Structure 1
């Protein structure tokens, strides 16, 4: 077992900062992440409206903004990614009544994000989920305005089907704009049964074979949320979600358990290392320092060719 000592590929997800995770704990996690070479911080304008007193998002970005202000110089050591498109228009609004991705919605949401974060630019702006009430070309043109003025360095899509990603990229290329160059999807070592998706998951939230192939072919970076199934790989008090229960999962879990035992590490750490070996950037949304340290160790774990071959073997 060897570990890489370069910058960590792990993304620290800050979804619950300021709501279920208090400010002191949030600061401690952020400090530890940077101390150990972490770079990417992921948030959204809608985090976490379902856990906030107001019924609106913004708490996560606000905590990050206060942390940045309290740590002079740290902005140069981290990269900030935020998202637009999923903030509810009013408390308890259904998904069909979220702000969406019109030009006006993108501009107003992004201005709010900059204000809460206390910055004048972000390193990645994600389209949080697709909005079929708006032509994707209108959304791309709105993003183009932000990349052109330097307030956004890169743009990506989360929870979008491959055909809309391609349409967005084609329109950007045709207008000379910066195209989407990253995808953020749910991905882990196990695969859900066909025709199923995790509870609350967006319709196109899972990284499927088509999106994966598209990303590989066109050089898009892939970020994976919920890679550890909320700790179910290692925590005996948690169970693997039912949608992953099928014969293929049993075989994959058997191989995963054996590889983890041979390396003397947790199964979740092998999952993270496996994702990194396939060019995928895992995201962690834990609330405890030991979870963070374990994940940071996991992404630096280098699997041998034999271990990768066994983990990748068709079932």
Structure 2
């Protein structure tokens, strides 16, 4: 079966979404050919009384333990940087990206995930209080030791990623081979602050960087903007309120109607087949939402439809 052009985001598995529902979605995802599951060690501290996080990783770990053989069918992506060290004090108590923190955090994630390896390990955000060469060295050690297969940078500026990759080459160790940033079809006003703390947009510069760097994967979170494309009860945040959004939504609606699919599915198809291709991370809470997202694989945009989607601004 061809690998799905979608990553399942597990942020609220084990907190806002109960254990039975979370495991049912994981089963359904794998049964329909899904491979990648994305989480983080701090998910979802703000939705749990503990205020610390780790609930999503632990839920995935229990799922893996209860499904013999499934670990060989999936790949696990998780992150380090933002887990609170003091409940109720975030972001000031975030763990950061020092060498000792990274080495300890990966072991804790492995325990919660009930696995001996992580397929893609992310720096969840920059930590400019720590020398970058220290962070790079610690991540490289994890790949050298076989604990982690690949490394990624989430919510990083492009120049920071390039500098880290240069340092890794100088040290003769593995560097970042993936970017994870926020992106969707409609874009906020230039310079507007996103309503979600810590989110960084996938910029044109980052897209161009990925286009010319061989082997650099791009993952995008919040591709469906929390349901705003299809749900009247989930309006777009105010930062998206500008004429360009209206024009893009009009074209998106026209293309969706032509194809007989949802606007969500057109967004996911447009994203996953662009240049460079960007793999969306989709968070779902119902089987219907999961099926809708997975069926976007079957949406084929004509060259004219893609031109219309791309050119409107």
Q: TM-score category by the smaller chain?
A: over 0.9
Cα deviations by residue, 1:89-109 (Å, 9 ceiling, x for unpaired): 111113132000000111111
Aligned to 2:143: 147
The CA distance in 1 between the partners of 2:165 and 2:310, in whole Å, is 31
**Does 2:178 match 1:182?**
yes
> What stretches of structure 1 of length at least 5 have no aligned partner?
none
Give the deviation of 1:171 after TM superposition: 0.4
Q: Tell me the equivalent position of 2:210.
A: 215
Write the distance in 2 (CA, Å) between the matches of 1:119 and 1:67. 11
State the secondary structure of the residue aligned to 2:12: coil
Structure-2 residue corresponding to 1:255: 251
TM-superposed deviation, 1:300: 3.4
1:187-246: per-residue Cα shift (whole Å, max 9, x none)? Answer: 00001101113212326x110111111111113111110000111101112111111111
1:238-288 Cα distance to aligned partner (Å, 9 max, x none): 111111111111111110000000001110110000000110000111111
> Is the 8 Å Cα contact of residues 9 and 282 (structure 2) preserved in structure 1?
yes
The equivalent residue for 2:299 is 301
Question: Aligned equivalents of 1:12 and 1:55: distance in 2?
Answer: 24
Q: Tell me, yes or no, if structure 1 residue 42 matches structure 2 residue 77.
A: no
Partner of 1:126: 122
Aligned partners of 1:159 and 1:202 also within 8 Å? yes
C-alpha contact (below 8 Å) 1:197/1:206 kept by paired residues: no
CA RMSD of aligned residues (A): 1.0
Deviates more, 1:94-103 or 1:257-266: 94-103
Whether the 8 Å contact between 1:82 and 1:124 is mirrored in structure 2 is: yes
Give the match's secondary structure for 1:95.
coil
What's the counterpart of residue 173 of structure 1? 169
Q: What are the residue-to-residue correspondences of 1:39-118 with 2, within 5 Å?
A: 39-118=35-114
Deviation digits for residues 8-57 of structure 1, max 9, x if unmatched?
A: 12100111111100000001000000011100000111010001111111
Structure 2: any 5+ residue segments left out of the alignment?
none
Q: Tell me, in whole angstroms, the C-alpha distance in 2 between the residues paired with 1:97 and 1:166.
A: 27
Kindly indicate whether the alpha-carbon contact (under 8 Å) linking 1:85 and 1:127 is maintained by their aligned counterparts in 2.
Answer: yes
What is the SS of the residue equivalent to 2:118? coil
Find the aligned partners of 1:156 and 1:177 in 2 and give their Cα distance. 14
**2:248–2:312 CA contact under 8 A, matched in 1:** no
How big is the shift at 1:314? 4.3
Contact 2:195 2:237 in 1 (8 A): no
Query: Is 1:238 the equivalent of 2:234?
Result: yes
Asked if the contact 1:8/1:300 (under 8 Å) is kept, the reply is no
Flag the structure with more relative contact order, 1 or 2, with Cα contacts below 8 A and sequence separation at least 6: 1
CA distance in 2 between counterparts of 1:47 and 1:80 reads 14
Distance 1:197 1:296 in 2: 31
Residue-pair matches, total:
310
Distance 2:126 2:222 in 1: 19
Would the aligned equivalents of 1:44 and 1:58 in 2 still touch at CA under 8 Å?
yes
Using the size of structure 2 for normalisation, the TM-score is: 0.97
Q: Taking structure 1 as the reference length, what is the TM-score of the superposition?
A: 0.96
The reply on whether 1:160 has 2:163 as its aligned counterpart is no
Runs of 4 or more above 2 Å deviation: none
Tell me if the contact between 1:11 and 1:283 (Cα under 8 Å) persists in the aligned partners: yes
